[in-house]
Structure 1
């Protein structure tokens, strides 16, 4: 269906997956849509590339299938037959010098029984976990840092060895700052009504919510069919969504940063770029929080200040290709690394074992990637490519015995790529949305709001698009009382 070129015009600022999903939703609903992206491509942290002739993802590599939004979007743009489950679902934790199989029976590293994490936690640490059953209930309040709460109930070792590499890997952050309410909402709600953390974990497991929505951002695939990739890479999704937007009559302009946002009449907007000004009936800001703050400062200073306070973490992905004959047998899909052990890399994914499409495209190669950098470690990401490759090879050799030299390497930096979700984050987002509700025809979407995983970003985009569409429809009915009625 082509958009009505004379109908209400919606401008979407930002061409990451959230902006694309919002524009797609609006275009399919029949609205006239223009998407403006500051960079030279759409897709944001979804980026397809190649190494030594093999296609690879250089950004996000999987979709969480337990949430429907991202999988539904892939199917809607014609990629349903390319959705692919991981070739292996096992993973390890590189802890105290050994690769230890990832234990089961936990919620993002928080065990429901000390026996579930044997091998990763010392005998003393296991005893400390059991003390949770003897401690009085913890007053949680409106929110709490998951690392601090788990350490109080079960000791620091379970945080250091499991919660940090799992949940800290999702956000590239510090578990002692990450909001439990935002990051593991099912566990947060259970912990408010159960007297012990052990009981709360078991309640979540029994309810079938053991994996939170944003585990989609984890560096290695965990949970089997809970995760899906795309043949050719998740990085091919943005191009397919962009093509669907254009097919529905939408316009996409890259290299077009929004420099100002001006009011136009009672409900309209003017979206200013370096070369043009777009008249819009509504606007979706799907940009990083800082960019949105700059555009909103003159219209909603309170919301702008809130958005300006959102921190971001930077990370780098080091992709390495080896001759398959040079690579020893490696276990599963990869491994996570507890920061407490002091290594450079925080995870490694064995792409050629995790994704069959990588092996099918380059059977003589073995492709893997490592990730480097967390919140507060920007100096790691700024290191020279050769230094990051050397550090990755050193850690890989120590963890797996891999001594071969790669035939090709690629370093991809995601500077300011992951918003941080500290205690109180959801309350901050609620205040932002409350302030913007007073501005007709303006919504925000993206990783800074409801989750950093791809499904959460798509969900926030759909929320913004649907609210915009409802506003446009209500305005149309007020100005044309006969609208929506047949004669």
Structure 2
């Protein structure tokens, strides 16, 4: 496959989530012949459209960052431009210290640049602790540091418990005291390396953003649900001649003496010039074990958090809610849910589908919380309703409820994650015609997954030339194939 897209080479993409589908879409643009293998009976991974009480909703991720171009660009390419929708309201709250309080402005992933506007969220002692940051000696971040540990040292534990934890938990379902600042909040990590105090670093980021203000919404959804994006990409892949096989797990990935690849697709044997591995880390480790044991060992060490989404539909006349798009919940307050989205408020298209129905959802589960997710669906609904009643006063009986469980749904980015990813890619790069992509590497959001797919395709575009050069003189690897 040449950079000009004139050569037709066979590429197998393992994984039919948004990263794998984006890779397939891009490969077809470059002139490759593509087969996508997906073990599940559907494509889309963590993006899942559904319905409740006759209203279309998302049962997985519901929005995508619009300030990055990759996901929005892909949506436009596959015909969804006229269905992109900004939130009807983006005003969120924190449910903390017994009340819903407006989410403060002027922070970077919960890290404030000043103590202003934090009264009611933080105690007087917590507010004073922020002000002392400017007088503390500089704290080096080194090659990486945990977000929670660094922020607690500079600004106090309250900032972590009341602000950073709920925001990071909404993205990673993780523990702020384990999550890598370099991987999860890279702009803050870089600013902290060059400023004496943390509040100064945050204000510098805010000043930079003010000098070059972004236009347009921060987030976008899609009418009918973000879960329709992978369906549209899959339709585009098929329309261009790509093959997508669902219910077809991949195994037995091996290098061939000719410099290509052989793998099992269910009961079929496939041969390819190149392979893109776009599955979660455990499945990728199993697939790479023979040909790249070093990459497999690193991938096996990637941990995942599980969570559940509880979607509830009410008669609008019975369900008065506070203003805004929903709220986040600090774990320190001891509640079950970690967030709630007022979906019919946030997305105008949901409200328009049935004006008499109000849809909201809660999320349950963080890294290490296994006991709560062992409860059955009815218990999770009851616990969600209890917390919603305490937070908002909502005491109506829902028309319908749905519980969607995402077991092992979110990869964790602990301190040193960037170095682990670099080692994985170093091992993979030793095997021509092989690339990896997905949420386990450079970000869990939809744009980051699409970007990782684009980068994987870019690596293969040049790498397949090397494959052809190896054909005449294959190098025997200790694992039985040509390569390492």
Q: TM-score range by the shorter chain?
A: over 0.9
1:290-301 matched pairs, under 5 angstroms: 290-301=282-293
Task: Give the SS at the match of 2:95.
Answer: strand
Residue 409 (structure 2) aligns with? 417
> Which residues of structure 2 form unaligned runs of 5+?
473-484
User: Would the aligned equivalents of 1:285 and 1:443 in 2 still touch at CA under 8 Å?
Assistant: yes
User: Would the aligned equivalents of 1:397 and 1:403 in 2 still touch at CA under 8 Å?
Assistant: yes
Query: Is 1:32 paired with 2:33?
Result: yes
Which residue of the other structure, out of 274, 277, 285, is the alignment partner of 2:269?
277
1:231-270 matched pairs, under 5 angstroms: 231-270=223-262
Residue 483 (structure 1) aligns with? none
Task: Give the SS at the match of 1:198.
Answer: helix
Residue 109 (structure 1) aligns with? 110
1:44-443 matched pairs, under 5 angstroms: 44-208=45-209, 225-443=217-435
Partner Cα distance (2:423, 2:208) in 1: 31
> Which residues of structure 1 form unaligned runs of 5+?
211-222, 481-487
Task: Give the SS at the match of 1:139.
Answer: coil
Task: Give the SS at the match of 1:7.
Answer: coil
TM-score, with normalisation over the residues of structure 2? 0.94
Partner Cα distance (1:178, 1:48) in 2: 29
Partner Cα distance (1:99, 1:331) in 2: 10
- In the TM superposition, residue 123 of structure 1 has moved relative to its aligned partner by 1.1
Q: Deviations over 1:23-69 (max 9, x none)?
A: 11001211000000000000000000000100000000001001000
Q: Deviations over 1:62-109 (max 9, x none)?
A: 010010000000000000110000000100000011000000011111
Partner Cα distance (1:5, 1:41) in 2: 31
- In the TM superposition, residue 278 of structure 1 has moved relative to its aligned partner by 0.5
- In the TM superposition, residue 168 of structure 1 has moved relative to its aligned partner by 2.1
User: Would the aligned equivalents of 1:88 and 1:224 in 2 still touch at CA under 8 Å?
Assistant: no
Distance 1:330 1:147, change over 3 A: same
- In the TM superposition, residue 224 of structure 1 has moved relative to its aligned partner by 8.2
- In the TM superposition, residue 399 of structure 1 has moved relative to its aligned partner by 0.1
User: Would the aligned equivalents of 2:259 and 2:467 in 1 still touch at CA under 8 Å?
Assistant: no
User: Would the aligned equivalents of 1:105 and 1:116 in 2 still touch at CA under 8 Å?
Assistant: no
- In the TM superposition, residue 381 of structure 1 has moved relative to its aligned partner by 1.9
Residue 450 (structure 1) aligns with? 442
Partner Cα distance (2:466, 2:265) in 1: 29
User: Would the aligned equivalents of 2:432 and 2:464 in 1 still touch at CA under 8 Å?
Assistant: no
User: Would the aligned equivalents of 1:261 and 1:296 in 2 still touch at CA under 8 Å?
Assistant: yes
- In the TM superposition, residue 137 of structure 1 has moved relative to its aligned partner by 0.3
Partner Cα distance (1:302, 1:478) in 2: 22
Partner Cα distance (1:243, 1:192) in 2: 45
- In the TM superposition, residue 374 of structure 1 has moved relative to its aligned partner by 0.5
User: Would the aligned equivalents of 1:89 and 1:224 in 2 still touch at CA under 8 Å?
Assistant: no
Partner Cα distance (2:307, 2:280) in 1: 16
Partner Cα distance (2:64, 2:235) in 1: 20
User: Would the aligned equivalents of 2:173 and 2:367 in 1 still touch at CA under 8 Å?
Assistant: yes
- In the TM superposition, residue 362 of structure 1 has moved relative to its aligned partner by 1.2
- In the TM superposition, residue 5 of structure 1 has moved relative to its aligned partner by 12
Task: Give the SS at the match of 1:414.
Answer: strand
Partner Cα distance (1:40, 1:175) in 2: 35
**RMSD of aligned Cα (Å):** 1.8
Higher alpha-carbon deviation: 82-91 or 292-301: 292-301
Partner Cα distance (1:364, 1:28) in 2: 44
Task: Give the SS at the match of 1:118.
Answer: coil
Partner Cα distance (2:109, 2:279) in 1: 29
Partner Cα distance (1:378, 1:89) in 2: 31
- In the TM superposition, residue 475 of structure 1 has moved relative to its aligned partner by 4.8
User: Would the aligned equivalents of 1:33 and 1:251 in 2 still touch at CA under 8 Å?
Assistant: yes
User: Would the aligned equivalents of 2:273 and 2:467 in 1 still touch at CA under 8 Å?
Assistant: no
